[in-house]
Amino acid sequence: MNAIFANLTLVIAVLAVMAFVALHPWTFRYPWVVRTLMVVATGSVLGILTYFTLWIPSISLEFSATVNTAEQEPGVVIGGINWLPAYGLVRIDIRNGSNFDVSSLDIVVKVDQPVTAAGQLTNMTGVSIEPHDLPIIDPQWFHPGGRRVAIPIVALATERGYRVRSSIVPRHGSISVVIATVAPNDGAAKNDRDNLLKISFIDGRSVWFAHEKHSGAVFASRPTIRNIVITGQYEVNDREHTVSEQLHVVADPLELLPLSSGLTGIFWSEDKR
């Protein structure tokens, strides 16, 4: 039951009780002025009680994102990620501007380019960020004579999104997530360890795997982001709210900012549920 339906149910219940009081035979023993005052008093008391105990506030989590394609300094760590020159930087900000705590946040963030890693820029406890719906595979080399040797691989990049969960987003608090986007190099590799294994799914999205000791030549140039999709849910006072947002590039500040800034787009949206 969402917040709007729950609050509407409360209003109908209060009106039903007021109608019951107004139409009950016991109240007809009194003059109409007294009956009216009784109905108004009943509605006022019930209204105050439900507002402070059962009424669900309208909460809107705000989602915004910035994209930075500037090359980062070698060896820099951003959000717990050891940054490489081939990474594109996407920052997602989740803000609770209300006077109520948000709990059980569970969303999936998908960008229109493969993602190799994600981390938290803020220091909020109880936050987990992990690849969404990542397949588990176990490739092996088969040698003559039946000998099998496991191939040590890692998930290199995914288009299936990253799942962000948080036990709480406190009132007037925020969570900032950094996402590293890449362009996997699907061309022929110079050595076997740089060959990529690509798995495509029926929804058109793919996941890339690589040898854990690849040379780094598995990435092409930094990609350009144009779309970000956020779906999921969160709770306020044990009531579930859904999130379904699509963030688009709406500005190109390169004409206004120094080229060294590397800022290529600003996104924003507000989930009004």
What does each C-alpha distance from 60 to 171, 209, 243, 255 come to in angstroms?
11, 38, 10, 32
For the chain, 273 residues long, the average pLDDT of each consecutive 10-residue run is 65 79 78 80 78 64 85 86 89 89 94 94 94 84 79 87 95 94 76 77 88 78 86 86 79 40 47 47
Are 244 and 126 part of one and the same domain?
A: yes
Residues 151, 140: contact at Cβ < 8 Å? Answer: yes
Counting the structural domains of the chain, the total is: 2
- How far, in Å, CA of 152 to CA of 137, rounded? 11
The residue whose two tokens read 């507000």 is 270
Q: List the CATH number of the domain containing 174.
A: 2.60.40
Are 158 and 77 part of one and the same domain?
A: yes
Residues 168, 126: contact at Cβ < 8 Å? Answer: yes
User: Which one, of 151, 78, 85, lies nearest residue 117 by Cα?
Assistant: 78
Are 7 and 89 part of one and the same domain?
A: no
Query: What range does the domain containing 23 cover?
Result: 3-53
pLDDT of residue 51: 67
Are 118 and 238 part of one and the same domain?
A: yes
pLDDT of residue 21: 77
